[in-house]
Structures are given as structure tokens and as C-alpha cells.
Amino acid sequence: MVPFKPRFNPWFNPWFKPWLLLSPKMAHDLAPIGLQALATFRKPTVYEWQPLEWQGLKFKNRLGTAGGVDKDGSLVRPWWTFGPGFLEIGTVTPQPQGPNEGRIIDRDLSARAVWNRMGFPGRGAEAVAENLRKLPREHLTPLFINIGKNRSTANENAERDYIECINHLAFAADAFVVNISSPNTSGLCDLFRTDVFKPFLGAIIDARNHQRTKLNGRRLPLLLKLSPDLLDEDLNRIIGVSGELGLDGWIATNTTLNRDEGSPFPAEGGVSGLPLAERSKKVLLKVLTAAQPYRKEKLIISAGGVMTPADVSERLAIGADLVQVYAALIYEGPKFFCLVARQMTQQASPNIQKSH
């Protein structure tokens, strides 16, 4: 007997979302225009619930955007009008590059899933720096910058790309996220290998440390984004090595190469959204255990399959310090931050607190 699987139909959704009637590619391409239009008449706002202070950064709430939502840092101001507690831009590469060839994005409405094989498309570090120079020096929320390598750069030289991004963007970053877990750049995850990982990450941490003199002693936290497809022994090794080197935290997780039975997506490319939820929660629990020796100092962020306000609450209850969303914004729109804030504050106060 085949288990009942409810179908998602936007025509009969009480919260009508017209963008889901567009093709995935068209919706993706028009999203920045739509976001900027919606933000035009809104004031910068941060919803306040469960605030957190970490390494001098103040998070008025614990929910932010994941990497991939704003690739070039051109949408920071519009996102600030919808109430997130922090933003992550990127993945940023040193040089501009286009997406991978062929189909690069799709979704499965019935499974509330998103698939992509974009491969770090973007305008490059210099263009991102120019966008970020337009922002006020005091950011409304912490700003994380997710950095990667160009696909033309060999793994033997990969750390140079990450260091170049740090050198270009340290002036605007509140923290950096090292991304070697995307399944959409060929060979990228090989940087997790035992013989490669420690010297690679050590060089990047050294480069971060050298920035302190240029930033008047300000220390930029450095986080590592983890793959949900790592074997347990590799995950434990990676947490141990990076913790000892002085990494400041981990994001669990990136998209997955795993496919549920009946998935309509091809084998290549990463899947996010609801099919990733259980896998991401399991990795979060493993990271919390492996990071226990460093827990007082490190930041742990949960991402992957966070689709409802209840999911946000669950990830925090499991032990995550912060939570990030991507697919939820595709299915629910930017009002998702308000929905979460309302749930988080409804018992404490009938009104959502705001900071302008």
C-alpha cells in the first residue's frame, strides 16, 4: 500500500502565492525585483525575540537568510525591511562567473523541495565589495559573507581564492563562512579529505588573523559550512581539526546529494527543503556532540529543511544557536520572518517587538 502523500496546490492555498505559478527559473530571476518592490514602502525592521550576543555581535533574533538568497550583496537593504536577525550573502568567488550549463534550478511542490546545481554564479568579490560599501557602517543586523572558489581554480590552489575574498571583503563582514560543501562545484568537497583539510583551513584562518591589524584589532569570526552527506567519522574529524585550529563555528547543513524514493530530480545537484529536514537535524545533533569540547566558544547554526515556525523552534530546542532559511522563503515568501516572530512572541506579548 502506497502511503498517502498530500499534493500542494497553489490555486487552493489560503495564502495565495502567485510566484509559485511561475516556472522555477523565472521565479528565481524575478525574485530580486519583487523583493525590492515589496521593500520600497517598508521601514528597516528587526523583530526582537530570543536575542543572542556572541563575539561582540548582537542578534536581535535567531533567524536569518542562508547563503544563496543574496548572492552579490545587492539585496541587503530590502531584506532588512522584513525582520531577519542576520543575513548571509554569497557564495562569493574572487572572479565573476556564470552558472553551470543547462538546467540549474527546479522545485517539487508536492514534496516542498528545491533542487539546484548553480555552481556559485556571481559578479565576483570586487562587485560585491562595491555593493557593500553602500551600506551604513553600522549594520542593522550581523552580516555573514559566504566565500568559495572559482570552478576554474584547482583544489591545490583553492585557499588562495578564499583568502582573496577575505582580503577584499573583510571591511564589510561581521563573519565569514567557508563553503567547501556545495555539491555543485566539481571536486569541491574533496577539500574535506584528511590529507587536504587541515593545511587548507589553517591557511585561511591565518589570513583571517592577519586582518586584525587592518581592522584595528577587530577579530572576524570564521565558520565552516558542512555537508549533510559526510560520514560520521569524517564529520567528527572535521569538527575536531577545525576546532583545534581556532575555527569559530559550523553551519549544518548545505544541500544534499541524497534523493528520496520517487524524487523527480537528477542525481547531480543539491536538494534542499523538506526532504533535507531529517538529515539536517541528525547532522546538527552530531555536530553538537562532536563540538562539546569547544561549545562555550563556538557558534552552531542549523540550516536545511526549516520550513515552518515550528521547525525554527525545534532547531533552537535541539541546541542550535541560530537558524537559517532558504527554501522556506521560496515557498512562504519574505513574510516568513514575521510569521516566526509572531509564534515566538505570542505567549510573551500580544505585540511583536520591533527595532528600527
Amino acid at the residue 343: Q
Strand partners, 176: 145, 222
3-class secondary structure per residue, the chain: CCCCCCCCCHHHCCCCCHHHHCCHHHHHHHHHHHHHHHHCCCCCCEECCCCEEECCEEECCCEEECCCCECCCCCHHHHHCCECCEEEEEEECCCCECCCCCCCEEEECCCCEEEECCCCCECCHHHHHHHHHCCCCCCCCCEEEEECCCCCCCHHHHHHHHHHHHHHHCCCCCEEEEECCCCCCCCHHHHHCHHHHHHHHHHHHHHHHHCCCCCCCCCCCEEEEECCCCCHHHHHHHHHHHHHHCCCEEEECCCECCCCCCCCCCCCCEEEEHHHHHHHHHHHHHHHHHCHHHCCCCEEEEECCCCCHHHHHHHHHHCCCEEEECHHHHHHCCCHHHHHHHHHHCCCCCCCCEEC
Please say whether the beta carbons of 277 and 306 come within 8 A.
yes
Pick the catalytic residue from 23, 110, 181, 182. Answer: 182
263 has catalytic annotation: no
Catalytic residues: 182
